[in-house]
Amino acid sequence: RQHPGAGGGRASVLSAALDFFAAGADRLVYSEALVAANYRKAEVRPQRRPAPDLPLFAAE
């Protein structure tokens, strides 16, 4: 993400690092919520057969 007026130096490196960590935290929270939702769904309605190696949201 380019910030206008940031001509390089420590400020742009710091903002890039903050963007990177924010994106990683968003992904982590999203994946944890996905796992929790899938776990609750499996508790309510157990699957008859083991799901293949698919993304969690595609394993129905």
What pLDDT does 53 receive? 60
Tokens of 2: 């380019």
Six token digits for residue 31: 């994946």
Does 39 map to a domain? Answer: yes
How far CA 51 is from CA of 35, 36, 41, 55, 60, in Å, comes to: 14, 16, 13, 10, 8
Residue 39 confidence class, pLDDT cut points 50, 70, 90? confident
| pLDDT (tens digit per residue) in 8-37 | 567 788 888 888 877 777 777 777 888 888
In a domain, 4, yes or no: no
**What distance in Å separates the CA atoms of residue 39 and residue 28, rounded to the nearest whole number?**
16
Domain hosting 14: range is 10-58
Residue 5 is assigned to a structural domain of this protein: no
User: Percentage of the chain with pLDDT > 90?
Assistant: 0
38 neighbors 59 (Cβ within 8 angstroms): yes
Number of structural domains found in the chain = 1
- Rounded to two decimals, the pTM is 0.29
Say whether pLDDT at 2 is over 60: no
